[in-house]
Amino acid sequence: MTTRYFHSVTLDKEKCRGCTNCIKQCPNEAIRVREGKARILEERCIDCGECIRICPNHAKLAVTDTLEKLSEFKYSIALPAPSIYGQFEPGVSIEEVLRAFIDIGFDDVFEVALAAEAVTYATRRFLENYRGSRPLISSACPAVVRFIQIHFHSLLDHIVPIDTPMEVAGAMAKAWAEQALGLKKEEVGVFFISPCPAKVTAIKQPVMKEKSNVDGAISISLLYGLLSKRVSTQMKTKGVGCSTHLAGKKETEEESHGKEGHHREGWVDLVRPLRGDNPFLSTGRGIGWGRAGGEAQALGGWSILTVDGIHNVRGVLEQVERKKLLGIDFIEAQACTGGCVGGCLTVQNPFVARVRLRVLAEQHWNKRPALDEDCLDNLIAAGAFTTKKVEPRPVMALDEDVARAIAKMDILEKTVKELPGLDCGACGSPNCRTLAEDIVRGIALETDCTFKLRERVKALAEEMADLAGKIPPAMGLEKTGGESSEGK
Amino acid sequence: MTRIDLEFTIDALDFVHAGEAASRVKRTLEHVGMEREVVRRASIAAYEAEMNIVIHSVGGTMKVTILPDCVEIVATDRGPGIEDIDLAMQEGYSTAPPHIREMGFGAGMGLPNMKRCADDIRIESAPGRGTTVRVIIRPRHAA
Ligand SMILES: Nc1ncnc2c1ncn2[C@@H]1O[C@H](COP(=O)(O)OP(=O)(O)OP(=O)(O)O)[C@@H](O)[C@H]1O
Ligand code: SF4
Ligand code: SF4
Ligand SMILES: [Mg+2]
């Protein structure tokens, strides 16, 4: 078992003061403080970003790409997450935000919100034909998918086997650029503009496909300053802006190259009618995906439960596992409070962003959808949206062998009883039970508990005092008599 | 020793902590690396057993024994007991009062669900004395 895990969430050792704030916040008990510094147990981390939010010393950070990476490609396309629309002042239009991406150096921009509409359509078709056990669970939040991989193995089959809006946007944008501009696959770089580290990890190490369609991820927070400057100048000089968006040059009617050829043509067919001056093509249905409840609202028509915040997600999934959620067809579960607007790489207060996004979605709710349903049906039939099955990640087991794991668990239970039960975290583990677990796993000692250490020191001190009283007989001090010779 | 014994005290009508014992059982099975179907079935059985004590009894205990080839759940309470066990086992039969039903319980599905999850289920009950429900769940490879 030597799987290496990539993680976007990492530690800045210099800044970490070992304060133990983050170890308690982690929903997966994946952080320990050892030798004065936080350490992430990489097989457990789901990149939810809770520790980034809580760290008072800004020692937890998300590794993402930067604008420099654009130069690695001949043609770069930004794929902004819907949540970005809620980050700006109310007067700023979505079109302005999208055009600003061209101003800051991208060659093109393609909305993930639009891809979200394609995913909504595919999910609806899937739900219509689905005869398996319900509720189905959305695959959109990668932190939730990873959480299920670790803790809810019996629910893996409930995850909708449909690609995320990010992946679909990547496929659409790339296919189009290749076809319309006659570029090679490697020459086109598509960059997700991300609200969270979980998406970054989903690109570098996807669980629902072999390789991501997306080439990189840049955080919303990194670009926000640049974008808002452009957005405000645009407002003054209305109408000026770039319009390279999907304008394409000549349509080269070359036959497709590469294995995914038939999908690529399908994506191109889907995007072809969208070409034009305005990069803003999504409707309220896609825009809403950036906040909790948006996916459900876009789907409509089913009994859908929306849950946000990873601790709440756990509670709901427990109920599903216990077969206690009857009459629910679908669960939209997001690790961040408020949905993606609550992602730790966004800048706006999530509650503010949430209401802005809702207003924007309402404004554009009745806009005519841009995507052609026949094209979508063809793509669905060809399996263009289909993902591979999600495999379990049984990282919680104390041993690969059940019998040995039981023996260790037995020791764990007994160890817990010995510990003070204060859950103070001073040992560097989040609570007494996890310290017991760490002891059993061999990565901690009982004396890491300050109270246990004190007990041991006290016992040692007593023993020392006792020993000090035991003067060797050769030194012949008669006056102590028999009282100190209790012996063992 | 290749055996774990867990014991939980369960209080009547304690809805704040209801479900915690079942969660602990699940987490323990996760640590043990038990196959996913056993985890699922044991989670359901433990939860239903726990909730029946919370809702229908004056309080009791749940003991869980985990062996490599078997999970045993024994839920015992101090009363009031079940009048007609066959009737209680029927889907949809419930004596839960309206205020409990409002909380989403009382569909009369608990015992039938436990039966579906169990390789063996035994209920002993005497009105006025109490109820003991014993459930055995075995991994497929050992069944
Ligand atoms: N421990 C118990 N003590 C007394 N009566 C019980 C006990 N467990 C079950 N019963 C009786 O058996 C009935 C059926 O139990 P069952 O668990 O199947 O359904 P329920 O608890 O009423 O509803 P649900 O489990 O669906 O929430 C109960 O309504 C109750 O009358
Ligand atoms: S919260 Fe965690 S990462 Fe931040 S300083 Fe404290 S121990 Fe270090
Ligand atoms: S809810 Fe959205 S922002 Fe948060 S982890 Fe999931 S995908 Fe990322
Ligand atoms: Mg019941």
What pLDDT digit, counting tens, does each position of A365-415 carry? 999 999 999 999 999 999 999 999 999 998 999 999 999 999 999 999 999
Rounded CA-CA distance B85/B81 in Å is 9
pLDDT at A147: 97
pLDDT tens digits, one per residue of A286-314: 999 999 999 999 999 899 999 999 999 99
Cβ of B32 within 8 Å of Cβ of A402? The answer is yes
The pLDDT of residue A488 is above 80: no
pLDDT at A248: 43
CATH of domain A9-62: 3.30.70.20
Please report the sign of the dihedral spanned by the C-alpha atoms of residue A393, residue A399, residue A405, residue A408: negative
Q: Does position A142 have pLDDT exceeding 50, yes or no?
A: yes
Written as six digits, the tokens of A421 are 């039960």
- Quote the ipTM score: 0.90
CA–centroid distance, residue A371 to ligand 1 (Å): 52
Q: Is the dihedral of CA A273, A275, A281, A286 positive or negative?
A: positive
Alpha-carbon gap: A152 to the closest alpha carbon of chain B (Å): 8
pLDDT for the residue A234: 63
Range with lowest mean pLDDT among A20-29, A418-427, A445-454:
A445-454
Q: What are the distances in angstroms from CA A28 to CA A32, A396, A434, B27?
A: 11, 10, 11, 12
Residues 32-71 in B contacting A (C-alpha not used; CB under 8 Å): 32-34, 36-37, 39-40, 43-44, 47-48, 66-68
Q: What percent of chain A lies above the pLDDT cut of 70? A: 90
Sheet holding A108-109, edge to edge: A108-109, A75-80, A188-194, A216-219
In this predicted model, what pLDDT tens digit does every residue of A195-243 receive, in sequence order? 999 999 999 999 999 999 999 999 999 999 999 999 876 655 544 333 3
Helices and strands (H, E) in chain B, number of each type: 5, 5
User: Which run of H or of E encompasses A409?
Assistant: helix A402-418
Domains of chain A, residue spans: 9-62, 67-239+258-276+286-381, 402-468
The answer to whether residue A180 scores a pLDDT higher than 60 is: yes
What residues of B are in contact with residue A410 (Cβ under 8 Å)?
1-4
What is the pLDDT, as a whole number, of residue A247? Answer: 46
The length of chain B, given as a count of residues? 143
SS3 category, A124: helix
Query: Residues A70-123: pLDDT tens digits?
Result: 999 999 999 999 999 999 999 899 999 999 999 999 999 999 999 999 999 999
> What local confidence, expressed as pLDDT, does residue A468 receive?
83
Question: CATH for A402-468?
Answer: 1.10.15
* Low pLDDT (below 70) residues in chain B: 1, 141-143
Q: Which residue has the higher pLDDT, A11 or A324?
A: A11
Residue A437 has pLDDT above 50, yes or no: yes
With b for 16 or more beta-carbon neighbours within 10 A and e for fewer, the A71-89 pattern comes to eebebbbbbbbbbbbbbbe
Residues 6+ apart with CB under 8 A from B8: B21, B24, B50, B61, B62, B63, B64
The answer to whether the beta carbons of residues A172 and A334 sit under 8 Å apart is no
Asked if the model's pLDDT at residue A259 lies above 50, the reply is: no
Q: What is the pLDDT of residue A273?
A: 85
Whether the CB of A396 is below 8 Å from some CB of chain B: the reply is yes
Statement: residue A475 has pLDDT above 80: no
Residue A1 in this model has a pLDDT that exceeds 80:
no
Per residue in A120-140, pLDDT (tens digit) is 999 999 999 999 999 999 999
The closest of A247, A219, A246, A356 to A291, measured between CA atoms, is A356
